[in-house]
Structure 1
Amino acid sequence: MKKEKIAVFWFRRDLRLHDNAGLYYALKSGLPVLPLFIFDKTILDQLDNKEDQRVTFIYQAISGLKKELQNLGSDIAVHYGSPADVWKDLLEQYDIAEVFTNHDYEPYASERDGEIKSLLQKQDIVFRTYKDQVIFEKQEVLTGQNTVYTVFTPYSKAWKAKCNTFFLSSYPNEKYFSGFLKTKTTSLLTYKEIGFVETKPEFPADHVKSELIENYDETRNYPAIHGTTRLGIHLRFGTVSIRDLARTALEKSDTWLNELIWRDFYHQILWNFPHVGKGKAFRPAYDNIRWRNNENEFALWCQGKTGYPLVDAGMHELNETGFMHNRVRMVTASFLTKHLLIDWRWGEAYFAEKLLDYDLAANNGGWQWAAGSGTDAAPYFRIFNPTAQAEKFDPKGVYIKKWVPELNSLNYPAPIVDHKFARERCLKVYKEALNND
């Protein structure tokens, strides 16, 4: 019996039916669309913590998608394994005419997609990918000389000049929901089958109140206040639409819009300068820095035992919740790289392991910004004073008291290093590295 020709939509960083670019084009193809998600063994095998909350978040998002699709008379095929192996099985099971998905800009994702595209092309199957997780990508925003922007401020000005309703319009996916493949309901893989244990975290909501956005400029720098959106994990896994958020930001807060533009900026940096995603400094001269890389001091930083209350509070918050306030991220990262002269890649890897909203482009961009090796126009002289930062952004010590209750006890350590000494040492080491380039 001849199989029905179908299209497949492959979910990755876009776990929603609403305003999903690749899914829109799949549903408009005229072919019945089979939704697909692959728990990628290559990625999951790298996670040592088998209670990783991000896996629970993905699992819950897939479970939600499954219910939505079942209400539409369809379902989502969920597989565990290496993508190439899964696709080989799917090609035997279905008569696939076209495959649709959305762009992913990370080095591993590019290699994976190249492999799958090649596999499909051998079977004369078209592999179509679309822009979905950013407003502008790759080389859509260029200088007057048609070069890539490497400094944020001029990039953001060009971004805003180019942006209009066309780029911010949502895809009307709901109109085409009848295009999903009608199929019988199947059970979802268990956590055990993908090698993980379910956790019971409290994930942030996928929406924010208008007042928070309207007051964002005044509240975002104060970690004791719930003044940021905490949408990072939803943006990372695409459970919210970047176009919806950008429209809201344009209407209510230019400061928050800038935060969304930073995401685009770092994604286009990762795409155009892929070496940054492979452990190299954006500015090659900074790979000459002679890091101290003291393992004991790194362990104390990880544990929040540096003797600098704001740094320690941030690390305790990260270790206990998987979240750290953005202002505090800058201070902790600066402290590790500048005060302790520990390679930014060590800190980047630790954040990658702990952050619920970990995103390679943003995490790498933030760490290189802190270390001075990234895209900032005036890099290495900026050395945050953690005590001054605490006085300015946590003046009543509310945040610090919450996360460092042992502060005024005998259990609290003395500062791991003197600020003035550390600052002078850092400037000397950086200067030597850059002068020898």
Structure 2
Amino acid sequence: MTIADLITTVTEGAVPMRVEAADGSVVGSSDEGLTLRLHTERALRYLITAPGDLGLARAYVSGELELVGAHPGDPYTALCALANWNFRRPPLSEFPALAQQLGVRNLLPPKPPPQEAPSRIRRAVNGLRHSRTRDSRAIGMHYDVSNTFYEYVLGPSMAYTCAVFDKPDTSLDDAQYEKFDLVARKLGLEPGMRLLDVGCGWGGMARHAARNYGVDVVAVTLSAEQAAWAKAETERVGLAEHVTIIHGDYRDSPGRDYDAVSSIGLLEHVGVANYAAYFELLRGKLRPGGRLLNHCITRPDNKTSPMPGAFIDRYVFPDGELTGAGRIIAEAQDAGFEVRHEENLREHYALTLMHWSANLVANWDACVAEVGLPTARVWGLYMAGSRLGFERNVVQLHQVLAINPHPSGEADFPLRPTW
């Protein structure tokens, strides 16, 4: 049996692109300008021994599978075609014959690429999921790759969260400015207020609030590289008197009686089982009448397992978890918050990812020189795949605005939204 024969056996309908295998066999059409090229027998072993996105990622990241016709910094068109590939699971009666034709060697998994994180079970040596030690390692794997690399991909804003676009052709920098400003407006920031920004990244929200709203900010990130960059940039732009950057766990955020708390892209790393403690902690940081804006990726329902797919878990966000906006709102309410507004920005994140992918393509050689070809391939694959996920409503992005009400029930909130 050739590899092309095997692909035909497990495909229902037409193969959506040309496939060129290491054994010289070919299947499918190149009419769409796309070719999936398996350079080695090892690539096939990756695909067979880890079906789904993990096997594909292993072969692609290692360079043993190539998507010809799609730039590795933005393989979006190839992923669209792959998403339309209809596979069929052979019946049990066919397995013995298939196993015999494939040979024992092809049923043994090769060693994963070094960019892959250990399995969830093996990560337990670093502590229970979402313990401080294990969270620190997980955050470091993703965010401490290279500040220079992120500068190439994110652009001047250094904002690594969903932007807000007034129209489709709005620039990325303008859209990221609008995201920070929308958060500030929803929080009702005014001069002299105190803001706690948890999961602050490279400090974009903190600097925006201090520069444009006269707010004093305490900003916390668990990434050492982010904290170092944010401190240097805050000092460079003359805002160090009003912005304090802390390298640490959000659970150790100092102070109380803040006027507002912003959490932009943190909840994905907290763990669903820890939502109650998360919202209780943040409510305890707010004065009565203070506001919380929670901005995070979500699922389109509240019943799907919060665990991510294997590729995201092993290569992108180890221990990350997602659930629906309903679960988030329920947990916030149960912690004593009064939820006042909710907004889904799903299409905005697809546009944001399109811009990041374009930046990666434009700076491809420099990015590869900075982090290496396999890591650059991981980011290209993950951003293009995430864009497709937001477009197809596999994932969403929700902002939830909540208030810590006064004991009397007063909310210090206008009759109609002002933002």
Flag the structure with higher helix content. 1
Q: TM-score, normalised by structure 1?
A: 0.27
- What TM-score do the two structures reach when normalised by structure 2? 0.27
Higher strand share: 2
